[in-house]
Structure formats: C-alpha cells, structure tokens
Amino acid sequence: MPCGATSIGAPALAETVSDTGPVLHLEEIGRLPALTSVSPLQFPDLVWAELQNRGVNSSSLQQAGIAFSVILVAEADGREVVNSSQPGSIQLADAQVFVLVRSSSFKALALTDDFALRSLLESHGATVVGSVGLLVRAYTNGQSPRAELDQSIEDLLNESTLHLSRAFRAYLRRLIQDL
C-alpha cells in the first residue's frame, strides 16, 4: 500500500496510475492534452521525480488540463516487486506503478510504454494503455481530427524518445491506417 500521498493540483481520487513513458513521450510531441481523457492521474513519487528530471512539471500538466497527484510509495514495497521479477526487467519506478495499481486491486487504469511492466500488470488482470492508445483515444473521442492523429503517430515515432523497431513502426502504421 502507498504509505502517504502528496497532492499537487488534484484530489487523490485518480483511477489512472501513470508511469513515466506516456507522459514524457506525449510531452515531447506536444500532445499532453491526449491525457485529459484519463485524468486525474496518480504518479508514484519516483515516476514524478523522473518526469521532473526530464522537464515535465506541474505547470506543463496543468496547462494541458491534466489533474494529478503524487503518491509516496514505501521503498520496501517497490523493492519487493523488483526482487520478485525477472532480474533487470522491472525498475524501481516501474515497480511503484505496479504497487499503486495493485492497491486498487488492479482496477486502476495503468499507463506505461514499458513492455515488461505492461506484461506484469496484464498478468494480474490490469488494463494497460500506452502513448499510442492515448493518441488513438483522443481521435476516437473527437479531440483530434484524423490528420492530427496521423501526424501525432509520426511525431511519436520520429520525434519522441519512445523506441520502436522499424518492423513495429511499420506494423503500427498499418494498425493506424486500418482505423
């Protein structure tokens, strides 16, 4: 269980727990508003520290209309998840995401672009979404027109720090084209 909460800009009622990746990648391509459909967000403290280190701060989220809170996760809880996973597969910040989603009985929506964390969460029945899903949802909800979705996907592949191999880029373009 999280051992405490520090609220920054939103009550701690979030049903969405976010890892670093989706927020960082959407910020890198100027598409933070794609997160509004799953706001308010909960960030474990290490994830929030990573985001701040990479230039994502309270004001950038607030300007995009995203409410969020930062939850302090006991280090022992995170370490337990790291130690029980395949060595090197889950980092401590990722483990904190797992701890928070677990504390919701895996009912909270989890945001991550990390495949190992996604697999771990999904093996417990959690719903996991990444940057791509959020961009597609913004299009589906009418927040982004089609041309913006196409451009956002290209920006995600070419301008963000999200890594996808050439093969998976081609596959993703096919999925988007078929929408």
Partner 1 sequence: MADKTLTEHLEFLVEERGEDEATVLARALQTGIETLYREALIEAYLLGRISREAISRSLTPNDLREIEAQRDALRRDVDWGARIG
Closest contact distance (angstroms) between CB of 75 and partner 1 is 29
Report the C-alpha gap between 18 and 128 in whole angstroms. Answer: 10
Among 58, 104, 133, 151, binds partner 1 (CB under 8 A): 133
Closest CA to 101 of 9, 35, 19: 19
Residue with Cβ nearer partner 1 (73 or 110): 110
- The verdict on 167 binding partner 1 (CB under 8 A) reads yes
Q: For residue 18, count CB atoms less than 10 angstroms from its CB and return exposed for 0-12, middle for 13-18, buried for 19 or more.
A: buried
Q: Cite the DSSP H helix spans in 29-145.
A: 45-53, 58-63, 75-84, 92-103, 115-122, 131-140
- The verdict on 104 binding partner 1 (CB under 8 A) reads no
- The verdict on 136 binding partner 1 (CB under 8 A) reads yes
- Residue located via tokens 């995009």: 64
Closest contact distance (angstroms) between CB of 129 and partner 1 is 5
Residue with Cβ nearer partner 1 (102 or 137): 137
Chain residues that interact with partner 1, rule: CB under 8 A: 37, 115, 118-119, 122, 127-130, 132-141, 165-168, 170-172, 174-176, 179
